[in-house]
Structure 1
Amino acid sequence: MKIDLTDTTSSRINNALIQARRAIGTPAVGMVLTLVIVTDEGSAYDALKAAGEASREHPSRIIVVIKRPGRSPRDRALARLDAEVLVGAEAGTGETVVLRMHGELANHAESVVLPLLLPDAPVVVWWPENGPKNPAVDPLGSLGQRRITDAAAAEDPVGALADRAATYAPGDTDLAWTRITPWRSMLAAALDQRHSKITSAGVEGEAYNPSTELLALWLADRLGVEVSRKVTDGPGITAVRLLTADGDVCLDRPDGRLAVLEMPGQPDRHVALKRRETSELLAEELRRLDPDDIYRSTVAFGVKHLVDRVQGGGAKGGDKEGAPVAAKKASPATPVRKAETAK
């Protein structure tokens, strides 16, 4: 069921939601959270599609915020709220409200969204494109227990990642981090099988790829060794090499789908390591709403490194050999454990 509302208010939108649920006989109970998506008109369709697929695992009220402040002074002076209310088959397993805020109202989006949040349910705020520099102090971001950005969608991905590192607050996360969960799990499992001292490591992947940077920072932080960064043609992350006293451990994924795990004294193994869709990444982040301590540790370790790269022009990634990530001096070169990769 779809209801279009023009020049409306939050109160009328809430009434429309109640009427729609009564009309189709669907109660509000069963929804576990409110997902607020802050995007523009061009990205709204893809973001809503991804959120709808993720809601099959996490039934939720999805609120899409599209700001249209206007270009001329006259347009900016006119405040108007238009809305679409979707309930039932058109909204997946939950319900969806699409808000288009015109004029001055676009600068006060939180006042419109707040009355529409599910009572006594957690709130997650997601910016599919160009998130704020400091999500925790953003007016909409301050409404959420979790705040999800995507550095890969920014014009300067490594610069955006440096902002995430410099302004981290409990509850922040980034889909660039979520993308490396399978890599971290696979590497942790490999090192649990072979307890060898790691002397250095290397990460290979595309330029402008924040996930590659985060994986290198995570290895440097966890292992206490220097991690080199090599730029390749991709797609995404293509290989991780861990140098040990007994030989190299290599996880190589040249095609973005299937990886080969090479370990000393063992036959090569093929493992599924495909690049995941946005809906899968979003569903993973919605599985837990407490702060991600491993992400916090990684970005805290990488603050100076990332800022130095951006200020020194390293964000463009034009060199085939990137600057190595220095190890944390106090950390011993110890294997990564499976527990440290849990998300």
Structure 2
Amino acid sequence: MIVELPDTTTSKVSKELMAMRERGGVVALGRVLTLVVITRSGYEEEAIDAANDASREHPCRIIVLAEGSPDEPTRLDGQIRVGGDAGASEVIVLRGYGDLADENESLVSALLLPDAPIVAWWPHGAPEAAAQTSIGSIAHRRITDSANEKDPTAALFTISSTYTAGDTDLAWTRLTNWRIQLAAVMDQVKGDQPVTAVTVEGASDSPSTVLLAAWLTMTLDAPVTIAAGPAGTGLKRVRLKRSGGDIELHRPGHDVAELYQPDQPVQRISLPRRGLRDCLAEELRRLDPDEVFGEVITEGLSRTNLRSVRTSER
């Protein structure tokens, strides 16, 4: 069910939501958090679809602040989605114009679930300092996506310089399965020949490649080279150089990786590229700061020699 509320106020939106519950039996019990999505015009539906899917694992109220034109007369258009149009959540879409076009805490304060954590998500157009924005200052977690920025690597350094506990980025979340597999390999060879050099191969436009290199720089304390491949291909390969033979984790396609180790048969490992829904759902599972990401973005990134980036020969 979708109800349009043109030229409205947040108070009227809240009252309409309550009336819809009374009329149709729509229940908000069991909502565990409020997800506030701050997005650009034209990207609302992609973000709503991902949030709806994630809400089936984490029932929540979703408030979407969609960019409106600051040049039009001041007004607020609202929309409420419940039932099949909202997954396991309630979706409230607000589009401000004129003086209400900018992100503002006052637009959402009356709609926040009482005594529930707040997560802010910028799927496009990450702010320079998420924790210092109007919405970010009241959020427990703040999620950006540097992969959608014009210069993803520059976006990572912006996050590094303004990092506040509770910040995270979906470029890091996309690495979870890679880090699990590499950590398992490194545990197996611990105490054996040390890793003397690392090569990380990934797309030239992939901030995940840079973050993985930063994590490995911190974890292994070895020089890391980034081999830049064609844009849009994602993360492809990690090679750990050792005196007794290299270890290589290579994903030639999108779903299955191959693990090469000295004197062992090749292992095929499920390692699919992660979708937006899976990454968002993972971030909503935890409301405490991600300390590892904090260390990687503030310390590991600065230690990573990005001048070592070279064009892949593949």
Report matched runs for 1:34-49 at 5 Å. 34-49=34-49
Report matched runs for 1:54-73 at 5 Å. 54-71=54-71
1:210 is the counterpart of 2:207: yes
Alpha-carbon separation, structure 2, partners of 1:290 and 1:97: 25
Pairing partner for 1:295 from 284, 293, 296: 293
- Quick check: 1:39–1:64 contact (8 Å CA) kept in 2? yes
- Quick check: 1:204–1:230 contact (8 Å CA) kept in 2? yes
CA shift at 1:41, angstroms? 2.2
Alpha-carbon separation, structure 2, partners of 1:130 and 1:5: 26
Secondary structure of 1:27's partner? coil
Cα deviations across residues 256-291 of structure 1 (Å, max 9, x unaligned)?
Answer: 221001112221100011111101110011111100
Alpha-carbon separation, structure 1, partners of 2:239 and 2:301: 24
Report matched runs for 1:125-204 at 5 Å. 125-195=120-190, 196=192, 197-204=194-201
Alpha-carbon separation, structure 2, partners of 1:300 and 1:160: 13
- Quick check: 2:217–2:303 contact (8 Å CA) kept in 1? no
Secondary structure of 1:30's partner? coil
Pairing partner for 1:252 from 250, 258, 261: 250
CA shift at 1:303, angstroms? 4.8
Pairing partner for 2:237 from 239, 245, 248: 239
What residue is the counterpart of 2:311 in the other structure? Answer: 320
What amino acid is aligned across from residue 233 of structure 2 in structure 1? P
Alpha-carbon separation, structure 2, partners of 1:121 and 1:241: 44
What residue is the counterpart of 2:277 in the other structure? Answer: 279
- Quick check: 1:40–1:66 contact (8 Å CA) kept in 2? yes
Return structure 1 stretches of 4+ with deviation > 3 angstroms: 302-306
Secondary structure of 2:185's partner? helix
Cα deviations across residues 21-63 of structure 1 (Å, max 9, x unaligned)?
Answer: 2222132211111111111221111111011111110111000
Query: CA 1:127 to 1:295, structure 2 compared with 1: closer, same or farther past 3 Å?
Result: same
CA shift at 1:194, angstroms? 2.2
Structure 2: give runs of 5+ residues left out of the alignment: none
Alpha-carbon separation, structure 1, partners of 2:179 and 2:301: 20
Structure 1: give runs of 5+ residues left out of the alignment: 322-343
Secondary structure of 1:107's partner? coil
What amino acid is aligned across from residue 32 of structure 1 in structure 2? V
CA shift at 1:162, angstroms? 0.9
Alpha-carbon separation, structure 2, partners of 1:107 and 1:194: 52
What amino acid is aligned across from residue 30 of structure 2 in structure 1? G
- Quick check: 2:37–2:64 contact (8 Å CA) kept in 1? yes
Q: Provide TM-score, normalisation by structure 1.
A: 0.86
Alpha-carbon separation, structure 1, partners of 2:64 and 2:54: 15
CA shift at 1:100, angstroms? 0.6
Alpha-carbon separation, structure 2, partners of 1:37 and 1:108: 10
Query: CA 1:108 to 1:230, structure 2 compared with 1: closer, same or farther past 3 Å?
Result: closer
- Quick check: 1:166–1:303 contact (8 Å CA) kept in 2? no
Report matched runs for 1:68-147 at 5 Å. 68-71=68-71, 75=72, 78-107=73-102, 109-147=104-142
Q: Provide TM-score, normalisation by structure 2.
A: 0.94
Pairing partner for 1:219 from 203, 216, 230: 216
What residue is the counterpart of 2:30 in the other structure? Answer: 30
Cα deviations across residues 148-172 of structure 1 (Å, max 9, x unaligned)?
Answer: 0000000111111110111110000
Bigger drift between 103-112 and 143-152 goes to: 103-112
Secondary structure of 1:21's partner? helix
CA shift at 1:235, angstroms? 1.5
Cα deviations across residues 88-146 of structure 1 (Å, max 9, x unaligned)?
Answer: 22211110000010101123621111111100111100011111011010111112100
What amino acid is aligned across from residue 311 of structure 2 in structure 1? K
What amino acid is aligned across from residue 125 of structure 2 in structure 1? N
Question: Aligned-residue CA RMSD in angstroms?
Answer: 1.8
Alpha-carbon separation, structure 2, partners of 1:21 and 1:207: 49
Alpha-carbon separation, structure 2, partners of 1:112 and 1:29: 23
